[in-house]
Amino acid sequence: MSGKFFHGVLIAVVLSFTAVSVSAFAKEPLPSWNDGPAKKAIVEFVERVTKAGDLDFVAPSKRIAVFDNDGTLWAEQPMYFQLAFAIDRVKALAPKNPGWKNKQPFKAAIENDIDTLMKFGKRGLVELIMATHAGISTVDFERIVEIWIAGARHPKTGMLYRDMVYQPMLELLAYLRANGFKTFIVSGGGIEFMRPWAESVYGIPPDQIVGSTIKVQYEQQDGKPALMRLPELNFIDDKAGKPVGIHYHIGVRPIAAFGNSDGDFEMLEWVTSGTGPRLGVLIHHDDAEREFAYDRDSHVGKLARGLDEAPERGWTVVDMKSAWRCVFPEKCVAVTQSK
Amino acid sequence: MSGKFFHGVLIAVVLSFTAVSVSAFAKEPLPSWNDGPAKKAIVEFVERVTKAGDLDFVAPSKRIAVFDNDGTLWAEQPMYFQLAFAIDRVKALAPKNPGWKNKQPFKAAIENDIDTLMKFGKRGLVELIMATHAGISTVDFERIVEIWIAGARHPKTGMLYRDMVYQPMLELLAYLRANGFKTFIVSGGGIEFMRPWAESVYGIPPDQIVGSTIKVQYEQQDGKPALMRLPELNFIDDKAGKPVGIHYHIGVRPIAAFGNSDGDFEMLEWVTSGTGPRLGVLIHHDDAEREFAYDRDSHVGKLARGLDEAPERGWTVVDMKSAWRCVFPEKCVAVTQSK
């Protein structure tokens, strides 16, 4: 974690408790965002719903903002980072499962054959992920995730996966919270894969994370209770499942939604079709140099319908290349210092 | 809602934001509790986990307290209040469902035959409740609950159901929140039956309510998206389901749990078997005069194993008759004024 990033998180924490810092922050709420239509739309929305006495004022308890994770808060190329984690798990468990060598999708995972893996589709991948993570307690699984996230690095950038989060989005999370919003993750990824690190990285506590789940069961183990992870899907929090996951976990319709792929379409649709002020935002990855460029034809994070319908639905498209001054926290240190 | 109660809620809200009031509150944190072992155990636990520098100190983000609802935060006799709601729904829907007259458990509901209804057991009742509440959107259901809770009265006391909450528990919720705790409901009742009113009554927002659920589905209705309630159970948040529900929704093991029946046994067991300071509390209904007296032989809120094992497990049993100065908010006004 870079110093700048840690500093950002620290600011966010302090901001939740001091009114003085909030107004200081308000002067330059999103330093890593370039001035332009995306930043303007976000800031105008926040000012609109927080202006006491205004018709569009929204009470703090109703200021709920939901964020997709993969491709919205952190990167997702060349594959969902949770898939990289799953592949590492498959490799670690392979000696005890000799049959996997000849059985897909395990074979592809062991052989690092990502192209073949991707052909099983998102649902297949989620099932692979779930299957390789079952048969242990929730406590053991949490520890495995913690160890992995502390050291695992991206094959192309060489960065820790956990450092491949978007600085402009961290600032946006802090900005929203400073303005009384409660921020939630609503991801197709596994809820238990995100919880061990999301609080330190995004400032989002475990109970504000919605995601896909496998079944767990309450059992006695050596005279002590444990929650065992079963190899059975419980809920897929993707596409039309996102509004459902929001309903089960949050219980009110959020007023702002941030996503980046057509897997977020229904979430944005649900959020922006409510009454009163609404904000729908799509992060558009058009920045091959600083991050990745992909949309309509991508296997991971495909964005087509969202781009087509954003104008008529009033959704804001954030073209990363022009909207963001910098992308990853460690790169943002230099940019902000030279400002 | 009585003035005293509204005042209590107001205090709770203010307390979450001002350090000054917190210390003022600390002098007399639980005015409706009599001095005695129950109050002592609760206050000592809170002081222990909030004392900075102490070995038992618990960071605010880990200060999670979970509360059962029926019989713990509000009354549950002679039947779960949600069942009274369900019976009213059956009656309202009966003209459109002529077959119900001869079909159990609908027949018993239409005929107000509570004894027969109770014989179907908790799971049967939950299914009845779910079945009568499906086929409409979540928005419509919320409105139906809001209308019911605003006017429905208890057959014996004549009080609004929503006023049959326990003033000592409202104070306890406020006291815990003033000490940095996040308070959650973890109930066998329907999550959507509690959410519309729990924030105004208990100060607990919709996303901090865990309960039983039926399946919902995202659909388009007349060109607008809606979440439709399906006549299919999704999750029963009772007994061994409570630690599971806690895991899915909260994601960390709470440090304090409050219940009143053997349906809360596993929740208390799960919470109190973690490391570090833990608090398990059982409300024991022994007060026929001011509320109800029931435990081992009750169909509703049966408490036997909990009473047997509380001493060895170190759980605090709150004997309502001796521990509480008063029970319902409107009765507490007089008691507090005469103090």
pLDDT tens readout for residues B231-247: 888 999 999 999 999 99
Q: Which residues fall within 8 angstroms of residue A125, CB to CB, at 6 or more apart?
A: A80, A83, A86, A105, A117, A118
- Residues of chain B positioned with their CB less than 8 A from the CB of A225: 243, 266, 269-270, 273
Please judge whether A250 and B217 are an interchain contact, meaning their C-beta atoms are less than 8 angstroms apart.
Answer: no
Q: pLDDT tier at A336 (50, 70, 90 boundaries)? A: low
Q: Is A251 in contact with B224 (Cβ distance < 8 A)?
A: no
User: Of the given ranges (A138-152, B89-103, B296-310), which has the lowest mean pLDDT?
Assistant: B89-103
Tell me which of A216-225, B9-18, B37-46, B250-259 is least confident.
B9-18
> Does B209 sit within 8 Å of A208, measured CB to CB?
no
Assigned CATH for A3-8+18-76+164-334 = 3.40.50.1000
Min Cα–Cα distance to chain A from B22, Å: 15
How high is the ipTM of this complex? 0.89
Average pLDDT over residues B203-213: 97
Alpha-carbon gap, residue A20 to A38, rounded angstroms: 27
Mean pLDDT within B185-189: 96
The gap between the terminal CA atoms of chain A, to the nearest Å, is 22
Three-class secondary structure of residue A262 per DSSP: helix
**Residue A7 pLDDT > 50:** no
> pLDDT band at residue B129, thresholds of 50, 70 and 90?
confident
**B163–chain A nearest CA distance, Å:** 23
Average pLDDT of the residues of chain A? 90
Give the pLDDT mean for A226-243: 94
Query: What's the one-letter identity of residue B331?
Result: K
Res A1 pLDDT > 70: no
Is the CB of B250 less than 8 angstroms away from the CB of A224?
Answer: no
Number of CB pairs, chain A paired with chain B, less than 8 A apart: 84
pLDDT tens for B284-297 read 999 999 999 999 99
What is the model's pLDDT at position A129?
Answer: 76
What average pLDDT does the structure give for chain B?
90
Q: Looking at the partner chain, which of A199, A217, A243 has a beta carbon nearest the beta carbon of B218?
A: A243
**pLDDT tens per residue, range A156-205:** 999 999 999 999 999 999 999 999 999 999 999 999 999 999 999 999 99
- Alpha-carbon gap, residue B65 to B238, rounded angstroms: 17
Percent share of chain A, pLDDT over 70: 89
The whole-number pLDDT of residue B10 equals 42
The pLDDT value recorded for residue B333 is 81
* B337 — pLDDT class (breaks 50, 70, 90): low
CATH 3.40.50.1000 domain range(s) in chain B: 3-77+163-337
Is the Cβ pair A248, B209 closer than 8 Å? no
Task: Report the residue from A61, A199, A227 with minimal CB separation from B247.
Answer: A227
Give per-residue pLDDT as tens, A259-317: 999 999 999 999 999 999 999 999 999 999 999 999 999 989 999 999 999 999 999 99
CATH 3.40.50.1000 in chain A is located at 3-8+18-76+164-334
Distance CA B54, CA B221 (A): 57
pLDDT at A27: 59
Tell me which residue in A184, A213, A241 faces B248 most closely, judged by beta carbons: A213
Q: What is the pLDDT of residues A25-58, one digit of tens each?
A: 445 889 999 999 999 999 999 999 999 999 999 9
Which CATH number describes the domain made up of B3-77+163-337?
A: 3.40.50.1000
B3-15 vs B167-178: helix crossing angle, rounded to 10:
10
Chain A interface residues (partner B, CB cutoff 8 A): 61, 64, 138, 182, 184, 191-192, 195, 199, 205-209, 213, 216-218, 224-225, 227, 234, 240-241, 243-244, 247-252, 266, 269-270, 273
Instruction: Dump strand ranges (E) for chain B.
Output: 64-67, 182-190, 209-221, 224-235, 256-259, 279-284, 316-319
| Residues in chain B within 8 Å Cβ distance of A227 | 243-244, 247
Mean predicted confidence (pLDDT) in B85-92: 93
Torsion of CA A213, A269, A70, A85, to 10 degrees: 20
SS3 call for A279: strand
Parallel/antiparallel/unpaired status of strands A224-235 and B64-67: unpaired
- Verdict on whether the full-model pTM lies above 0.80: yes
- Per-residue pLDDT band at B178 (split at 50, 70, 90): very high
